[in-house]
Amino acid sequence: MTKAEEDIARSREMIARYCRKKHKVKDGLCPECQATFEYVAAHRMRCPYGDDKPACGKCKHSCYSPAMRGKMKAVMLANLPQMLLHPVKTMRKMSGRKQP
């Protein structure tokens, strides 16, 4: 797997998590998120920096349109809890709230 393919696979996971949360899609992506993913994947393949590219957030060559940048920011935010919290803690908190 090349670095570009890895990046694309990671983006897909993040968009899928966002889609599950925001659009209640259990499997795969809704058409809107599918379009987002294809946009991201196409841009990653075309990135002028190739495999030496910095993280997109740090990249000076802003290849995303402003609308798509906003969308990706929402995707990042939806993924933030998973990045910060331990998954077991999150599950305990959720089940505790439902059953007092």
Distance set, CA 81 to CA 40, 75, 88 (Å): 22, 11, 12
Tell me whether residue 29 or residue 56 sits nearer to Zn ion (CB atom). 29
Least distance in Å: CB of 22 to Zn ion? Answer: 6
Least distance in Å: CB of 53 to Zn ion? Answer: 26
Distance set, CA 34 to CA 30, 48, 74, 81 (Å): 6, 23, 15, 22
> Contact residues for Zn ion (CB under 5 A)?
19, 23, 30, 33
Burial 28-41 (b: 16+ CB within 10 A, else e): ebeeebeebbebbb
Tell me whether residue 30 or residue 78 sits nearer to Zn ion (CB atom). 30
Distance of CA 87 to the CA centre of its chain: 18
Least distance in Å: CB of 17 to Zn ion? Answer: 10
Tell me whether residue 8 or residue 14 sits nearer to Zn ion (CB atom). 14
